[in-house]
A = this chain, B = another copy of it.
Amino acid sequence: MARVNALIATRMASEHAPRIPEVTRHLVEAGGKRLRPLLTLAAARLCGYEGEHHVRLAATVEFIHTATLLHDDVVDESSQRRGRPTANLLWDNQSSVLVGDYLFARSFQLMVETGSLRVLDILSNAAAVIAEGEVLQLSAARSLGTGQDTYLQVIRGKTAALFAAATESGAVIAGAPDSHVAALRTYGDALGIAFQLVDDLLDYGGVSATLGKNTGDDFRERKMSLPVILAVAQADPEQRAFWTRVIERGDQRDGDLEHAQTLMRRHGALEETRSRAFARADEARAALAALPASALRDTLSDLAGFVVSRVA
């Protein structure tokens, strides 16, 4: 990971536009979990890779992630990210859009350096699924008609596509057999879905529906995440009128978030979201059985448990 971080620092530089490293550094140095590059490194090493390209791939994946964060914060008009003011707030939307484009181009240069067309295919497909999911989320928000299929497509774009590309491309660069590549892809996809389900559940305070400083963003942005979809599906006419008001019309008042949480608890929407997250974590762990036993395989298995432990 130290070499990945060094490569990120080198490649976020710009000979001509100092604004680029300023904005990027602000986001990169705030930390973040570096989960995605870690997945790439682990997948490559687990498949016996001993070359150098996995470091490039890991940096690629983190650049794609950083670029999407910059654009997401513009789209969501966010003001906080990783405990810091967002780049769109510190600089402006323009810088966030353009620096995001630059990082996307840089990620693309890095992956071309691996010289693997198969890796390029995986990552370019992931980039398309990510962008499509973001657009889908935009048009699916604020509409009570949004169903579970659309939600799954959105979170695949938001999270699972890059997780899956991270693990799959790590296996491919290592020259792993198809069965191992497929297993690591399934692992990444299931892990990413579990991760996002947990995030969406925590946005309503987890199964205990506790209010916290990170609670309520999705509600305020009127996103159709799974807890809302499940609660709406079981709403009586009066409850449906409530959801129409707060999500479709965006007329939100004091106490509405708490009422939303109460309805979710009453209909078991939070419990159900949690149980789906656990099922995806199990799916991720099960996929690893196709790979030979090793300490790294155990680490990936533990990671699946760790991802859902936030809502245990």
Contact = CB atoms under 8 A, between A and B. Distances in A.
A106 B128 contact: yes
B135 A108 contact: no
Give the interface size class of chain A.
Answer: 35 or more
- From DSSP, what is the main secondary structure of chain A's interface residues? helix
Given A93-B74, A120-B112, A139-B19, A98 B134 contact: yes
A250 interface: no
Interface string A93-133: 11101110110111011001001010011001101101111
B74 A135 contact: no
Contact of A101 (B14, B95, B104, B136): B104
A74 B97 contact: yes
The 9 A-B pairs at the shortest CB distance, nearest first, are namely: A105-B127, A102-B131, A105-B128, A101-B131, A17-B135, A17-B136, A108-B124, A75-B94, A109-B124
15 contacts: A16-B150, A17-B136, A19-B135, A19-B138, A94-B138, A95-B135, A97-B97, A98-B138, A99-B131, A101-B134, A106-B128, A108-B108, A108-B124, A108-B127, A109-B125
